[in-house]
Structure 1
Amino acid sequence: MSSTAPPDRPPPAVCASSDDEAVAWDDPQELARFTQLVPSEDARVSTAHSVLVIEGMHCAACSVNIEQALMRVPGVLEADVNPASRRARILWDPDRVRASRIAQAVAEAGYRAYPALSVQAEADRRREQRLALWRLFVAGFCMMQVMMYAVPTYGVSPSGSEDMSSDIWRLLQWASWLLSIPVLLFSAGPFLQGAWRDLRARRIGMDVPVALGIVVTFIASTGATFDPGGLFGEEVYFDSLTMFVFFLLGGRYLVLRSHGATAGALESLMQRLPETVERETPQGTLETLPVSRLQVGDRVRVRAGQAFPADGRIEAGTVWVDEALLTGESTPVERGPGQCVVAGSFNLSAPTWVRVERVGQDTRYAQIVELMQRAATDRPPFVQAVDRIAAPFLWAVLAAAALCALAWVFIDPSRSVWVAVAVLIVTCPCALSLATPSALLSAAGYLARRGVLVQRLQALEALARARVFVFDKTGTLTEDRLALQRCEPLSTELSAEQALGRAATLAQASLHPVSRALVEAFGSSERLTELSDVKELAGSGLEGVDAQGRCWRLGTLGHVLGPGGQVAHEATDGLPSGPQAWLGVNGHVVARFELTEQVRPDARAAIAALRAEGLETILLSGDRPEAAEALARALGMDRWYGGAGPEDKLTVVRAAQGRGLQVAMVGDGVNDGPVLAQADVSLAMGQGAALARAQADFTLMSGRLGDVVEAWSLARRTVGIIRQNLAWAAAYNATGIPLAAIGWMPPWLAGLGMAASSVLVIANAWRLTRPQGAVGRAVPPGVAPAASLGP
């Protein structure tokens, strides 16, 4: 999980202000917290995949600048920075560059990087929120005081009147000037610092026009205060200055809080492992060590209230476990000796002993974290396109402000500066850049709490367009756990126990529900016989070679028979309707296994809900046609296909796509990998094979089919919210720019409009975090609740 520089290569430059900080970045154990090594096609070479949190990034132009700075570092292969989540996903070559050099590149660009999920990142987020609140308070307090001094001067000429002398008028202006200084130097600091950072790097960001407007307003008003009648006239706009700084900070603070809530929810789900764990030593004593030092086979004690540090099996004690991270359900489940527990779930009741089976990146928890990190850093192509045009758009804003200022020199020179300032502020494209990512991240966060993990944010838009839903059968529409009902030997050479032992030997290499049922039925793995070259053939079964060179096969009848194979016994009539598997050796069938399966409790309600929305449902199964038909009819599906291999499933999906329909595929097995990749959008059951999860756009950790309907309904709402956000952003700019250009929108109103547009976009996206009960509304009258449905 870590990378170090070869000894014959000089170390790269350090990243920050001290050598200690560079050492911390490159320390192998620290690096493993935010970096994963990804093997390439050449097994001897690996690339590093890191996720960083960026401090000081507020807009799309910032993300483009950071990406460009990272891509200039030799050894950085890819860089993707998401301004909405403030996360950067970087792919780099550990043989050419160190993590400290990557952090240095971010620092040189004017920002600061922290390892994702680190204590420093969390502390920085909280510090930034507190500082933003203080800036907002100072701006609000000074704004109220300045307005108190400005209101009496409205309608009074600088030469004074019978109600106010010119000296009092000047005194009020000087007081406003004094109160505007802390607003300029402290409250407006983020805008000025961001603009200076961009200009120093010879680039332009969204802070540049805002800072330019603030500085120009202050300089012009200062000139009018101390040199009345001079170049800047006699009118001052300290009230407008303090007001639009307050409005801008108010909008930025609300956006910061929404980002913080999203990041906090993400980190609360991902920071669930304990820092240390109690492990039993060979002498029978307990030692405390970091979780990163756990190994497979260790026996650890988990106290009540602690999270399980790794995947394993309980060896002693019965406990209640909170598995909300995996299922989205807060209801605890009971786990006893021999049952599995997963890293990140909580022990709620009593101390227990666990034998570790998977650690580090091999745990399901690590896979969940990887999926959520990928979603947090993912940017759909449309968002990337908007971000790329941010800088050219800002140059156009500066040009438009200059032209308006020039035009007003001939119309009314006293208003030229203020019109230019209003144009600079009102045209800032913050709302446009936030319109899509804010909605997608809100939807992904809600689904994550439901137990549905989004791997690619753009898949939400694809899911919203889906009109055909294709389901696998075993492990998807039915429970992922099967039970062996009958083992029937078809040869006198093997007893039932021997046949089951051979089948379990092959089945232990597979995660298919049938394979797991056979392994569990046989019991202890110590009694399994030895087979070599065991491999799984997608859609068919498994095969391996014993010590005598005989080829054993487990799976479908056609797979077991092979070309020219035959059944060794005539007891094949009257086949059961449930799942079954066959065992054979050298093309001769020697045993048949009958299994029982149960339809998922919410399968019928989910299919009914989809059909009520006018969607087409199809069952694709490698099981026998009669079994597939029986299940499809029981669930009320539109069409079904049994005995389908991977190529057959691809044909069905391509045929639906050929009709111009968007296809969503729901599956769980190795044989579903190709069809999941072919579908327009794919959903994999969280308990299924790793290949299926890797190919899928969504992972249903909950195992609830009702969440398929929930995800589709939310995806449609998300697309609607995105369209509303984009329409508002476009309407705001289309209305605000002409009003500012003709002088009908003062700078303070432009600041209010800019802040309000960003806040409205964020608030509109936040509506996606509230449950809508989509499944319940979609189920037509007369359909029983999911909990009461039988098979």
Structure 2
Amino acid sequence: MQSSTNERCFHCGQAIPSGTHFSALINDKEQPMCCPGCKAVAETIVSSGLTHYYKHRQGELVLPPELVGQELPSSVQDELLLYNNPSIQKEFVSEVEPGIKEAVLVIEGITCAACVWLLEHHIAKQAGVIQASVNLTNHRARIRWKETDIQLSDIMSSIYRIGYKGHPYHPDKEEQLLEVEKKRAIRRLGVAGLGMMQSMMLAMALYAGALQGIEPVYEAFIRWVSLIIATPVVFYAARPFFVAALRDLKARHLSMDVPVSIAVGGAYLASAAATLLETGEVYYDSVTMFTFFLLIGRYLEMQARHRTGRAGNALLNLLPSSATRIINGNETLVPATELNVGDVVLVKPGHIIPADGTICVGGTSVDESALTGEYRPLSKHINDPVVGGTINVENPIQIQLTSVGTETKLSAIVSLLDRAQQEKPKAAQIADKVASYFVAAVLITAAVVSYAWWHIAPENAFWITLSVLVVTCPCALSLATPTALTAATGTLRQHGLLITRGHVLESLSTATHIVFDKTGTLTEGNLSLQQTVTFGHYDTEHALTVAAALEAHSEHPIAKAFHRFGAQSADNIKASLGQGICGEYNQQQYRLGKPEFASQLCNQSISYRDAPDQDQQWLLLCNDQAPIAWFSLSDQIRNDVPLALKQLKRLGFSVSMLTGDSSSAVSAVAEQLAITDIISNASPQDKLAHIQQLQRQGAQVIMVGDGINDIPVLAGAQTSIAMGSATDLAKTNADAVLISSEVTCLVDAIVLARKTQRIIRQNLGWAICYNLLALPLAALGFVAPYMAAIGMSTSSLVVVGNALRLTRLPRRKPLHSGQKSR
């Protein structure tokens, strides 16, 4: 094998074999090439005017060009390799598709939106990574990759190499990191605060001495003491700013830590030089004050971020650490992580259910308030499903587990919540982009101001430039949107609405029309069989047995009305969305559903007009020879729906009902709820077409549904909301899930969404106006460095404090006396 040199090819990054002397002229400089092929390609790129490719290329190198060849310490490499172990990945990695995995990591070292941008772009460049998103608020990264192309340890190594640390996400681990971060911040804040007080006291003596006269020996003494006091502030308290700035510069990316570091470091070095040379001004008071106020701002921002992060962790912390497993009648206490599907566990009164399952022994009531916001315990009996993280209230029960670990509903809720927080709305994307360009503009402006004042009044040039750098730090601009979105999302989850897409708050605030499905949405969905009318010689028991067999495996509300009439299942079952179901039972074909659909099987034309009466909802059962029976079903309107619809109309919404039902029950429900825009007997395609027609007319539509037949229209609306009782497929396709199943939560969500948009506009307006006002004042010399530090920190605190107003639901105005709910 041919040996190689330490030099690497400028084009492909590979080592250049010894004795090879190929090169290409790129940007007026000869760059080494490893072979004639790379030389030819490089020259083609240059001749085509595409030399910027070498600044923005992606994918060829696992590491950025400036870091190629640097190796992580062997201890770190060994630790990261452990994360490739499937047993370790079990806790924080899920397989979303065959061969494609997704992990949630907590990133240590993030300080601003620029860090998020750098991480997302750097991780996404790695070969095999499909998607990478980082949340500024809780510092969690969600990464999806192809297992055959890259290992998790390689991804985590790439994070380490640009100056950050990634840890597997687990509530307990994150709590430890949050606590470490908090203690470290308090220590730095204490050093900066103590240094600021001492420096300010000494600075007062220097200011007084400048006015009234002071002996040079005492002035020199005060300066040296100030230097000693400021040194630990700069090298310890302000260290995170320098580390982050160096990291970002090595990655060729500007962040707000760059101007901060220039301001702190420049003022300190200039002051130290003035102290050593005994000439010039010193700025130790400004250095320590700026560091203190910036740390204060970041500490309070960190506290707000920890608060929202803990709100999400509280969900996974609902699960107990241990459970009582029953094996051959013996009770054994085991860690909850060792539970498997099929295990039977004992849950005593007052204990938390450890995973999803069905009750196999006993009956009780279960408190699901932590998940749904519904504080009334629900009655549960044998074969009823229960959810991990809920509380057994009354009696001991035994549960057979159906889902554990990342497959539970609780984990799914957390996953959907994380997905929503990591999908950036347009406002957040614009703010991030503006902030990144703003830093460059600040540095350019500072350079221009410094140059100008150097010619006008050289003695003032330095402190005015320092003030410009400090006062224009874009912290508030970066925090304006993510803090508001995170606060609002967490508030709605606590009150029963789980947002699963990032655009929901924005689209809810601009919506004009809201469209409801009927069964299971406006009504409770607990359909009950009221009457059976048979044809000819067919008996009622036979008709009910066949209907139960056809609906045996369906979770549709209509199907549940028949489940108690039989345990057998039909063969070759096929459901027609919005029409009905067909299958084979005892070697004969049957259809159950709308009269027009079912009667096609026996070549007859039967409609709702042929039903026993026009006052109820009827289904028809037919075989391939004749109709067999009519079934009458009834449902109840949800208690809170009348009030919710009146509140929505008062907010300016046009309310519609879109249903596949064509019975008289549609008009009865519409009349009771005062809905005038009704479309009945609609297929899934008809529903989607109606929504699309509204959207073409300029409507911003919210669609609320719960069934499989609602999936196309849920996907087609600007905002789709699935009921908590909806099918899993409907929830997956929806933008939000009403886990409490209380329709009044929609009103709260819309009111809060509008408030969120107002607060985001207020935050952005404040941040932009502050910088536009402060910059010229600082550039003209009207803002001293200490004033700049106070102003910058205050600006960030105003933004965070304003966003925290979203942690409470705004009060809905009461209806007028003439609008009371029935």
Q: Same fold (TM over 0.5)?
A: yes
**Residue 533, structure 1, aligned to residue 572, structure 2:** yes
Matched residue SS, 2:210? coil
2:611–2:630 Cα contact (<8 Å) kept: no
1:54–1:88 Cα contact (<8 Å) kept: yes
1:539–1:646 Cα contact (<8 Å) kept: yes
1:64–1:388 Cα contact (<8 Å) kept: no
| Equivalent residue for 2:593, pick from 526, 550, 555 | 555
The within-5 A match list for 1:710-749 is 710-749=748-787
**Residue 257, structure 1, aligned to residue 303, structure 2:** yes
CA distance in structure 1 between the aligned counterparts of 2:439 and 2:114, rounded to whole angstroms: 9
**Residue 33, structure 1, aligned to residue 101, structure 2:** no
| Equivalent residue for 1:609, pick from 630, 637, 647 | 647
Aligned-partner residue type, residue 38 of structure 1: V
1:343–1:364 Cα contact (<8 Å) kept: yes
Aligned position for 1:498:
542
Report the aligned-residue RMSD. 2.4
Unaligned runs of 5+ in 2: 1-70
1:686–1:701 Cα contact (<8 Å) kept: yes
**Residue 487, structure 1, aligned to residue 532, structure 2:** yes
Aligned-partner residue type, residue 265 of structure 1: A
1:15–1:103 Cα contact (<8 Å) kept: no
Aligned position for 1:70:
123
Distance 1:506 1:359, change over 3 A: farther
CA distance in structure 2 between the aligned counterparts of 1:187 and 1:623, rounded to whole angstroms: 67
Aligned position for 2:220:
170
**Residue 544, structure 1, aligned to residue 583, structure 2:** yes
| Equivalent residue for 2:231, pick from 157, 181, 198 | 181
Matched residue SS, 1:441? helix
1:80–1:90 Cα contact (<8 Å) kept: yes
Aligned position for 1:522:
565
| Equivalent residue for 1:423, pick from 468, 474, 491 | 468
Q: How far off its partner does 1:769 sit?
A: 0.9
1:294–1:359 Cα contact (<8 Å) kept: yes
**Residue 508, structure 1, aligned to residue 531, structure 2:** no
**Residue 684, structure 1, aligned to residue 722, structure 2:** yes
1:50–1:90 Cα contact (<8 Å) kept: yes
CA distance in structure 1 between the aligned counterparts of 2:586 and 2:600, rounded to whole angstroms: 21
1:510–1:536 Cα contact (<8 Å) kept: no
CA distance in structure 2 between the aligned counterparts of 1:342 and 1:218, rounded to whole angstroms: 58
Aligned-partner residue type, residue 239 of structure 1: D
Report percent identity of matched pairs. 38
Cα-to-partner distance string for 1:438-483 (whole Å, 9 max, x where unaligned): 1111110000001110011211111111111100000000002222
1:490–1:571 Cα contact (<8 Å) kept: no
Distance 1:326 1:538, change over 3 A: farther
Aligned position for 2:507:
462
Q: How far off its partner does 1:323 sit?
A: 0.6
CA distance in structure 1 between the aligned counterparts of 2:354 and 2:400, rounded to whole angstroms: 11
| Equivalent residue for 2:250, pick from 194, 200, 224 | 200
Q: How far off its partner does 1:771 sit?
A: 2.2
Aligned-partner residue type, residue 717 of structure 2: A
Aligned-partner residue type, residue 274 of structure 1: P
Cα-to-partner distance string for 1:497-549 (whole Å, 9 max, x where unaligned): 33222222222332211112211x326x3xx14x323232221122223452x
Q: How far off its partner does 1:248 sit?
A: 0.4
2:422–2:502 Cα contact (<8 Å) kept: no
- Higher mean Cα deviation, 701-710 or 364-373? 364-373
Aligned position for 2:105:
52
CA distance in structure 1 between the aligned counterparts of 2:243 and 2:300, rounded to whole angstroms: 20
- Higher mean Cα deviation, 255-264 or 406-415? 406-415
CA distance in structure 2 between the aligned counterparts of 1:48 and 1:780, rounded to whole angstroms: 54
- Higher mean Cα deviation, 375-384 or 738-747? 375-384
**Residue 245, structure 1, aligned to residue 298, structure 2:** no
Q: How far off its partner does 1:349 sit?
A: 4.4
Aligned-partner residue type, residue 560 of structure 2: R
Q: How far off its partner does 1:377 sit?
A: 1.9
**Residue 708, structure 1, aligned to residue 746, structure 2:** yes
Aligned position for 1:135:
188
CA distance in structure 2 between the aligned counterparts of 1:637 and 1:342, rounded to whole angstroms: 36
Aligned position for 1:779:
815
**Residue 308, structure 1, aligned to residue 350, structure 2:** no
CA distance in structure 1 between the aligned counterparts of 2:442 and 2:793, rounded to whole angstroms: 17
Q: How far off its partner does 1:570 sit?
A: 12
CA distance in structure 2 between the aligned counterparts of 1:424 and 1:16, rounded to whole angstroms: 40
Cα-to-partner distance string for 1:234-258 (whole Å, 9 max, x where unaligned): x211111111111100100011011
2:105–2:167 Cα contact (<8 Å) kept: yes
**Residue 275, structure 1, aligned to residue 321, structure 2:** yes
| Equivalent residue for 2:804, pick from 757, 766, 771 | 766
Matched residue SS, 1:274? coil
- Higher mean Cα deviation, 726-735 or 736-745? 736-745
**Residue 414, structure 1, aligned to residue 459, structure 2:** yes
Q: How far off its partner does 1:338 sit?
A: 4.1
Aligned position for 1:210:
260
Aligned position for 1:674:
712
CA distance in structure 2 between the aligned counterparts of 1:349 and 1:151, rounded to whole angstroms: 69
CA distance in structure 1 between the aligned counterparts of 2:371 and 2:541, rounded to whole angstroms: 36
CA distance in structure 2 between the aligned counterparts of 1:401 and 1:275, rounded to whole angstroms: 55
CA distance in structure 2 between the aligned counterparts of 1:506 and 1:647, rounded to whole angstroms: 24
2:345–2:398 Cα contact (<8 Å) kept: yes
Cα-to-partner distance string for 1:592-631 (whole Å, 9 max, x where unaligned): 2222211000000000111112211001111125321221
CA distance in structure 2 between the aligned counterparts of 1:451 and 1:746, rounded to whole angstroms: 49
Q: How far off its partner does 1:747 sit?
A: 1.9
**Residue 397, structure 1, aligned to residue 439, structure 2:** no
1:15–1:104 Cα contact (<8 Å) kept: no
Aligned position for 2:158:
105
Q: How far off its partner does 1:310 sit?
A: 2.4
1:685–1:701 Cα contact (<8 Å) kept: yes
CA distance in structure 2 between the aligned counterparts of 1:101 and 1:354, rounded to whole angstroms: 41
Distance 1:411 1:446, change over 3 A: same
Aligned position for 1:21:
79
1:608–1:780 Cα contact (<8 Å) kept: no
TM-score (norm 2): 0.87
1:51–1:373 Cα contact (<8 Å) kept: no
The within-5 A match list for 1:648-667 is 648-667=686-705
TM-score (norm 1): 0.90
Cα-to-partner distance string for 1:407-440 (whole Å, 9 max, x where unaligned): 1101111221212222222222221122111111
**Residue 221, structure 1, aligned to residue 271, structure 2:** yes
CA distance in structure 2 between the aligned counterparts of 1:743 and 1:279, rounded to whole angstroms: 73
**Residue 117, structure 1, aligned to residue 117, structure 2:** no
Aligned position for 1:93:
146
2:608–2:618 Cα contact (<8 Å) kept: no
1:15–1:102 Cα contact (<8 Å) kept: no
CA distance in structure 2 between the aligned counterparts of 1:50 and 1:462, rounded to whole angstroms: 29
Aligned-partner residue type, residue 342 of structure 1: V
Q: How far off its partner does 1:362 sit?
A: 4.6
1:568–1:590 Cα contact (<8 Å) kept: no
- Higher mean Cα deviation, 389-398 or 13-22? 13-22
1:87–1:376 Cα contact (<8 Å) kept: no
CA distance in structure 1 between the aligned counterparts of 2:609 and 2:669, rounded to whole angstroms: 25
Distance 1:625 1:726, change over 3 A: farther
1:16–1:107 Cα contact (<8 Å) kept: no
CA distance in structure 1 between the aligned counterparts of 2:626 and 2:432, rounded to whole angstroms: 63
1:665–1:676 Cα contact (<8 Å) kept: yes
Matched residue SS, 2:817? coil
Distance 1:318 1:680, change over 3 A: same
Distance 1:563 1:258, change over 3 A: same
Unaligned runs of 5+ in 1: 1-12, 40-44
Aligned-partner residue type, residue 88 of structure 1: A
